[in-house]
């Protein structure tokens, strides 16, 4: 990489990190490009040159987070996508679901700004995201749906509810728990809510809760 290109990459990354912080703090509507420029140390003219406008910058921030999450999930899912025999057993499905949930929870825990941005989106009825949703990759959707339908046809899943919405709901459970930690601390001021150990226990509880709800009872599986 040439020095000029390297400087350009560093500049772009710096602006993205500053924008992420401002969008997390104020949401898309409340964020000001002036604040992003000040936080990044670059002027608005340069920001617009790189990203076009505030919406373009918002898309770039979300794509950065989306790409990171997708890479993590792809690595987690890879062992389950090696052949067509996946999910012929309950233990395989259980491990898949546990891996998926742990990966989602840990990603959100490590990216609190993304959690705040999604919370702003929910509060606004997802209006901004609706404008830009077509710009995000859905390449893994068909493969994920195929896996879920295979598990359902094998009698391992309780429901034939839309697979992608099952995944979205799982993600929202993790996101809502983490976004609500300040509320839980108010409700239980004397409790250890946010330490590493407590968050690990919360993650394990959510995993057990969701997996038990998604998978068919063992007696039902045995009957098939």
Task: Report which of 51, 75, 74 is spatially closest to residue 61, judged by C-alpha positions.
Answer: 51
| 3-class DSSP assignment, residue 215 | strand
* Mean pLDDT to the nearest integer, 142-149: 82
Whole-model pTM?
0.89
CATH 3.30.1540.20 fits 63-223, yes or no: no
Residue 37: closest CA among 51, 132, 63:
51
Higher-pLDDT residue of 36 and 2 is 36
Tens digit of each residue's pLDDT (9 = 90 or more) over 63-78? 999 888 888 888 877 7
**pLDDT value of residue 83:** 62
Please tell me which residue, 163 or 85, carries the higher pLDDT value: 163
What digits encode the pLDDT tens for the residues 43-64?
999 999 999 999 999 999 999 9
The DSSP bridge partners found for residue 157 are 215
What does residue 157 show for φ and ψ, rounded to 5 degrees? Answer: -105, 145
| Domain ranges within the chain, ordered by starting residue | 1-52, 63-223
User: For the chain, what is the total number of helices (H) and then of strands (E)?
Assistant: 12, 0
**First and final CA of the chain: distance in angstroms?**
58
CATH 2.30.40.10 at 1-52, yes or no: no
């Amino acid at each position: 990489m040439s020095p000029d290109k390297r400087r350009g990459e560093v500049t772009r990354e710096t602006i993205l990190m500053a924008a992420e912080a401002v969008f997390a703090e104020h949401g898309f509507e409340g964020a000001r490009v002036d604040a992003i420029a000040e936080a990044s140390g670059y002027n608005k003219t340069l920001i617009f040159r790189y990203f076009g406008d505030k919406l373009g910058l918002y898309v770039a921030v979300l794509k950065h987070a989306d790409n990171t999450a997708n890479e993590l999930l792809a690595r987690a899912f890879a062992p389950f996508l090696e052949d067509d025999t996946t999910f012929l057993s309950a233990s395989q499905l259980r491990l898949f679901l546990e891996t998926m949930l742990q990966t989602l929870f840990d990603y959100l825990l490590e990216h609190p700004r993304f959690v705040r941005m999604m919370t702003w989106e929910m509060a606004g009825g997802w209006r901004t995201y609706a404008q830009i949703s077509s710009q995000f990759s859905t390449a893994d959707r068909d493969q994920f749906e195929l896996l879920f339908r295979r598990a359902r046809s094998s009698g391992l899943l309780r429901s034939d509810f839309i697979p992608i919405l099952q995944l979205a709901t799982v993600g929202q459970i993790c996101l809502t728990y983490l976004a609500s930690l300040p509320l839980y601390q108010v409700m239980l001021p004397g409790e250890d809510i946010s330490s590493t150990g407590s968050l690990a226990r919360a993650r394990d509880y959510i995993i057990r809760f969701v997996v038990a709800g998604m998978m068919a009872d063992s007696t039902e599986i045995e009957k098939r």
